[in-house]
Structure 1
Amino acid sequence: MKSILLIIPYFGQWPLWFDAYLTSVKHNPTINWLCPTDCKIPEEYPENIKFLKTDIKRLNKHVNQVVGCNVPLTPRKFCDLKPAYADIFEEEIKAYDFWGFCDLDIIWGDIRQFMTPELLANYDIISSRKEAISGHFNLFKNTHVLNTLYRKIPNYKKLFEYPEFQWTDEQVLTRCLKEHPNFINLSLKIYWETILCNQERGRDSHQEYEYNKWKWENGKMICLKTNQNVMYLHFINWKRTMQYSEVLYRDQPDFFYISFNGMHYQLHSIIQRRKRDFINIFKGYNIQEKQRIRRLKLKSFLKKMKRKLKLN
């Protein structure tokens, strides 16, 4: 069996769903996690996650030495550094066949059901997104070429040194793998054929504000509407609306539900669900996204009109 290490630095304060995250980690005993952090180490946690106690200042110094530039390291800036994790955490990845990066706004399903022996034997890079590198789950074979692949990104030092997030992990690396000669000439075998996490309307990881749609049960992440399971639930927009979690790692639960506002053991009533469905018609996530995009288009149009008026 190919060994896998997922690297997830996290600084600040653990999110309220962290016990649920650890519960889903425990149910993937053949996958390992490395978590550099300045947060308080939990009293109880799974054997397959290692916490590397550090602080951003100390880690920043190490990062700069490895990548050869001055990175203005912040929790958000870690996303730009994801392709360089193998280089940064060289000692920690040595014993593994694959290393990868992921996120913390996730509840894991059965990873090995999707990361099959055949897949790991035949591919150099494996993404959970379709035709793109995924910042929330991506694996790389532990080889010198792949561990230093980020150095082939044109102007990678400028991207790393820019204070704001530059989408190096997903957009930049994806474009390079598809278009840049430095990458194409390597003839890397990449698996990004389908979306392996939750998806709505053909997109990954953007959920409507729903109750009772997702259930974690004995290591499986199940969509109750379709009865299908996915490798993980990535609640990228729910972390803004998540208000509570009843799940405690020490209780070792067999199941729990994930809704847009919390993680819970009891299902919401039919009345609660119907009320939420009605609200979604006017203030649902997809409705709000459409309104946001229309506002941006209007703002862009007005700017163009002002420029034309000035020229005239």
Structure 2
Amino acid sequence: MSQAGAAPSICFVIPYFGKWPFWMPFFLAGCRANPTVDWLLFSDCGELPDCPPNVRVVATSYTDYCDRVSARLGIDFHPANPYKLCDLKPALGYIHEVELAGYDFWAFGDLDLVFGDLRAYFTAERLAKKDVFSTHARRISGHCCILRNTAELRELFFRMKDWRTRLANGRHEGLDEGAFSRIFIRRKNWPDALARLTWLLNPWYRRAEFVEAYSTPDAKVAWVDGSRNFPARWFWRQGVLTNDRCSGRAFPYVHFLVWKGRDWKQLAPETFADYPRIAREPAWQVSADGFAALTNAL
């Protein structure tokens, strides 16, 4: 547990198998700039060059990891496609209870993010008020969600309907943002005022924070002003993340889900060669065109 006066301790748990993505140097740069937050990665991808001390990679094969999950959950979890691991996110606190011992909060998320100043967003005061923190307004944010590290929260996934069957079936079902979200929020298709009333009557909703962080450009959620005019460039300056639409506002992270699946597939692999050097600079930018140095930034 955190010492008196210290920020509550947080550990992200992320299983990832196959090959590290080309943007990993920038993911690690964001982690390095948040030295009081830890990341625990389970992977067969090998060592991470220039890995900061708050990121720990536990080497394990995909088969061995699935064996561990199966034993802990009492199911046969051996999906052919590692993408099924996304459905495990709500259960990761329970699966990795031993590694998470002593932390105030555990978290699940993805690697397709660049972190800004997480402590400026998830302040001690903010974390003291709720038990679950989603960066979406109407569902759990599967790419970044923080939960209090108690047995009740680690075991909350047991409340998902048919969790055992749905985890064991091998198909990706989006349980993190679907079935797990419905523990907190239901009837989203009702008129807004009536739906929100039902949410407030749910004790689990009252124990959670659902606040849109506006950090996934070009996705379903509109921008801060309600438009589809999203920032084109995001700027990382010594751990502080801004963009070309809201230069005076810092964001906790940028989630480049859409760029990764659309624009970045057209990038030439040779452009990645300089990424490790750029990621070590005090400032850089990310856009649909990938990552680039940020000159005259400081």
Distance 1:101 1:113, change over 3 A: same
- Give the paired residue count: 264
Change (3 A) 1:5 1:249: farther
1:280 equivalent in structure 2: none
Partner AA of 1:193 in structure 2: V
Instruction: Confirm whether residue 79 of structure 1 aligns to residue 86 of structure 2.
Output: yes
How far residue 16 of structure 1 moved from its aligned partner, in angstroms, is 0.8
CA deviation string 1:260-312 (max 9, x = no partner): 13111157xxxxxxxxxxxxxxxxxxxxxxxxxxxxxxxxxxxxxxxxxxxxx
1:261 matches 2:289 = yes
The verdict on how the C-alpha distance between 1:185 and 1:123 changes in structure 2, with shifts beyond 3 A counting, is closer
Q: Is the 8 A contact 1:45 1:249 kept in 2?
A: no
Could you tell me which residue of structure 1 aligns to residue 53 of structure 2?
47
Residue 121, structure 1, aligned to residue 121, structure 2: no
RMSD: 2.6
What's the % identity of the aligned pairs?
A: 27
> Residue 199 and residue 172 in structure 1: after superposition, are their counterparts in 2 closer, same or farther (change >3 A)?
same
5+ long unaligned stretches in structure 2: 1-6, 188-197
Q: Work out the CA distance in 1 between the residues paired with 2:229 and 2:275.
A: 20
Q: How does 1:139-178 map to 2 (within 5 A)?
A: 139-178=146-185
Name the CA distance, whole Å, in 2 between partners of 1:94 and 1:82.
18
Q: CA deviation at 1:211?
A: 9.2
1:176 CA drift (Å): 2.3
Query: How far, CA to CA, are the matches of 2:231 and 2:275 in structure 1?
Result: 16
- The TM-score normalised by the length of structure 2 is 0.81
Contact 2:184 2:204 in 1 (8 A): no
1:15 aligns with 2:15: no
Structure 2 counterpart of 1:253, one-letter code: E
Moved more, 66-75 or 32-41: 66-75
For the Cα contact (< 8 Å) 2:11–2:37, is it kept in 1?
A: yes
State how far apart, in whole Å, the 2-side matches of 1:197 and 1:34 are: 23
**Contact 1:22 1:249 (C-alpha < 8 Å) held by counterparts:** no
The letter for the 2-side match of 1:203 is V
Gaps of 5+ in 1: 268-312
Q: Does the 8 Å CA contact 2:41/2:58 hold for their aligned counterparts?
A: yes
The Cα shift of 1:20 comes to 1.1
Pick from 107, 129, 133: which aligns with 2:114?
107
Paired residues of 1:210 and 1:259 also in contact (CA < 8 A): no
Moved over 6 A (4+): 208-211
Shift of 1:230: 1.0
Q: Could you give the per-residue CA deviations for residues 160-202 of structure 1, whole angstroms, max 9, x where no partner exists?
A: 0122111111111111222499x94667510013325245587
SS at match of 2:119: helix
In structure 2, C-alpha distance between the alignment counterparts of 1:202 and 1:164, rounded to whole Å = 23
Q: 1:219 aligns with which of 217, 239, 242?
A: 239
Structure with higher helix content: 1
Alpha-carbon distance between aligned partners in 2 of 1:18 and 1:8, rounded to the nearest angstrom:
14
Aligned to 1:230: 251
